[in-house]
Amino acid sequence: MSETTTNNQAVDESTDPDLQAEFDARLAADQKVEPRDWMPEKYRKTMIRQIAQHAHSEIIGQQPEGNWITRAPTLKRKAILMAKVQDEAGHGLYLYSAAETLGVSRDELMDMLHTGRQKYSSIFNYPTLSWADMGAVGWLVDGAAITNQVMLTRTSYGPYARAMIRICKEESFHQRQGYEIMLTLCNGTEAQKAMAQDALDRWWWPSLAMFGPPDAESTHTAQSVAWKIKRETNDELRQKFVDMTVPQAEILGLTIPDPDLEWDAEAGHYRFGEIDWDDFWQVVKGNGPCNRERIAHKTKAWDDGAWVRQAAVQHTRRASQASPSENLVLSPSDAGAA
């Protein structure tokens, strides 16, 4: 997904009215912005920020579920969970590549994550306390992610939109396996069903908060909508998620922990209670239950792997000195077959 940023990267600080007009016309015509097109610096920066945060979220998002791989109840569940966590690593990689098309390097992005200069979704700063959390996370957190990501398949920046299409194809497995875990627990013993209810109780509100502050307080949503980076607002997406999820909870026979939740027949939507935004902001600002642990774990893995990366670079250098043409594995006839 680098889409060749290699020559004439269009980094242009000037605001040439012709270029600006061309950019505006492209957005108005619902055409994608591609890496080497001229774009306003603010658009580029906003895009880098959002794609990087998204990538970091996928990568850090491996930790809450990775936590249960060794304790999965069956071999089948273990294999499924490993496949899901591996997908999340893949999602992170697609997205880092998309961010790099905008002129930032992978190393810089890693460093910004490790030093807290860029953020990731707050949802991954909550702990996964029981096996039922693997169900709740797949069902609710991946469910919320899908709601957001389906919208982003139509985002205005081409490489980001293409990464989203690939990701969305993989996400529905994530949500379904999570829901199936919940279903199995809910059809099990009383204790198992209680475990599922407890997981729902803990993950429900953070999942709603995951869509971000209400539109009225969300300072940068309007610009993102104007640039067609986002096609729907935080509140619209949150409502969509609630409407979709409440009936799914009913099928499980679980109770959503919101006394104010009710069906508004006239509007055709569920009305829900007030989100605890103080808690949300605490977690965003770094004071959630797992913020420090997540970054410490990520940084340690990066540092522990440093010698492997160095050795790989050395190995490549020596190998290319020994036989410079070793990497040319395609014969001309192979290439012609394309």
Least distance from another protein to the Cβ atom of residue 118, Å: 7
Per-residue DSSP letters for 88-151? HHHHHHHHHHHHHTTT--HHHHHHHHHTTSS---GGGGS---STHHHHHIIIIIHHHHHHHHHH
The alpha-helical segments, DSSP class H, found in 218-305 are 221-226, 234-252, 277-282, 291-304
CB 199 within 8 A of CB 133: yes
Residues between 52 and 71 that touch Fe ion (CB under 5 A): 58
* Residue closer to another protein, measured from CB, 170 or 201: 170
Nearer residue to Fe ion within complex by CB, 148 or 197: 148
Q: Which of the choices Fe ion, another protein, none does residue 172 contact, using the CB cut-off of 5 to 8 A by kind?
A: none
Q: CA of 19: how far to CAs of 46, 102, 156, 261, in Å? A: 18, 17, 17, 49
Decide whether 189 or 331 has the Cβ nearer to another protein: 331
The CA–CA distances, whole Å, from 210 to 197, 247, 269, 280 equal 20, 20, 19, 9
The partner in contact with residue 170, picked from another protein, Fe ion, none with C-beta cut-offs of 5 to 8 angstroms by kind, is another protein
Q: Which amino acid is at 321?
A: Q
We find the least distance from the C-beta atom of residue 149 to Fe ion, in angstroms, to be 8
Answer with the entry of Fe ion, another protein, none that 190 interacts with (C-beta below 5 to 8 A by kind): none
Nearer to another protein, 237 or 290 (CB): 237
Q: Does 119 bind Fe ion (CB under 5 A)?
A: no
User: Alpha carbon of 329 to those of 318, 322, 333, 335: distances in Å?
Assistant: 18, 16, 11, 10
Residues 44, 54, 174, 228: which binds Fe ion (CB under 5 A)? 174
Regarding 91 and contact with Fe ion (CB under 5 A), the answer is yes
Nearer CB in complex with another protein: 126/131: 126
CB 106 within 8 A of CB 271: no
The count of chain residues that interact with Fe ion, using the rule CB under 5 A, is 5
Choose among Fe ion, another protein, none what residue 174 binds, the Cβ cut-off being 5 to 8 Å by kind: Fe ion
Q: Tokens at residue 167, please? A: 């990701």
Residue 28 CB, shortest distance to another protein, in Å, is 18
Nearest distance in Å: CB 37, another protein: 6
Q: 45 or 300, CB closer to another protein?
A: 45
d(CA 183, CA 250) in angstroms, rounded, equals 11
Residue ranges binding Fe ion (CB under 5 A): 58, 88, 91, 142, 174
